[in-house]
Amino acid sequence: MNRKKYLGILAIITVACIIGGSLIHGIARQHRLAQYASEFQEARQEIKEEFADDLDEDIDDLDEEIREDLEEDLTDDQAEKAEDTLETHEDAAKDHSNETALEGTAGVAFTGMDLKLGPADLDIMTGTDFGVTYYVSDDKYIPTAEYKDGILYLKQDEKMLHGLDMKDFFTANKVQITVTVPQNTTLDGVKVDMGSGNLHLNGTGGLTAKAMDLDTGSGNVEIANLTTETLSLDTGSGEVEIASLTAQQIVVNHGSGDLNLENLSAKAIDIDSGSGECELENVVFDTLDINGGSGDISVEGIADMNTYLLDLDAGSGTIFINGQREGDEFNWNPTDGTTGRYIRIDGGSGDIKIGLDD
């Protein structure tokens, strides 16, 4: 084989190798590209699915926020309308002349009363004659009256005794009931059992009752200008104010809310208070027992502390006698108990303050 032919064959083989290598490389490259494309698609799908899940969660959270905002706006709107309606009813009921006389009660005398009410504001007051009047925003709350053995029995429909219906929650029903007795009246007893609502009992001009038994659920209580042998008050929640009252015995069992007794005179006062401030000011008594839960207890305006045995325990609070800090327990027995007068206070959490009359 001559040199020229040899070089030609070698050139052909070289070209063939180059072409073959290029083909093989191209096929391999295409395979790798296909593999890369497949892996890319899988990764892309995973990212897409993860993003979609996060997006769904974000959308769900946003939907929930929107729903809550709408519900809150709706509730606020309903509450605002209810408040406006209630104010309208209250304005109408404040003036007792707007009340309607309960059939069969005008001028009918009685020697005692037994009142059983559900949702209502109740006023017991002195006036020119005996009678019962009412103002209601719905006739279903009108009470019924019955007289037996000189006792006025007043009650609402049995269904109303369990409180407002849930369907009436936003209707702001107003129920005002007023029982009137002449001035300088003496009653054998006053018994009140009521659910939700405020109780006002005012004997301006003279009102005496041998016994008062008052039981309220939720609502404020105001008692003033009365004379009684025994006052028993059992309240659930609400502010309580008792002023200008003379009694032999006062017993108060109070759940939650501030309690204020002012300008009272009683031989024995017994108070059990759950939560809230308890304040006694210018109160004359022989014995005082207070069992407090949470809240400060103060007894101000004592005429002569030297006539009382003091047994005080403030629990987690501090005792102050005439402004002087005395720790969490204080005992004082200047008369060796010979007077029979004492102040016993057992506080849970809150300070105890005892002060003399200025």
- Give the 3-state secondary structure of residue 37: helix
The residue extents of the domains of the chain are 1-94, 109-356
For residue 86, what pLDDT is reported? 43
Structure tokens at 210: 């041998």
pLDDT tens digits, residue range 22-66? 555 555 555 554 565 555 566 556 655 655 555 455 545 655 665
- Give the 3-state secondary structure of residue 330: strand
d(CA 13, CA 326): 116
Which pLDDT band, with edges at 50, 70 and 90, does 336 fall under? Answer: confident
* Residue 100 pLDDT greater than 80, yes or no: yes
CATH class (in words) of the domain with range 109-356 = mainly beta
d(CA 22, CA 18): 6
For residue 271, what pLDDT is reported? 98
Residue 101 neighbours by CB distance under 10 Å: 12
CB 156 within 8 A of CB 177: no
* Residue 169 pLDDT greater than 90, yes or no: no
For residue 293, what pLDDT is reported? 93
pLDDT tens digits, residue range 110-166? 999 999 999 899 999 999 999 999 999 889 999 999 999 999 999 998 665 554 454
Query: ∠ at Cα 270 (266, 275), nearest 5°?
Result: 130
For residue 356, what pLDDT is reported? 81
Q: What are phi and psi of 6, to 5 degrees?
A: -60, -45
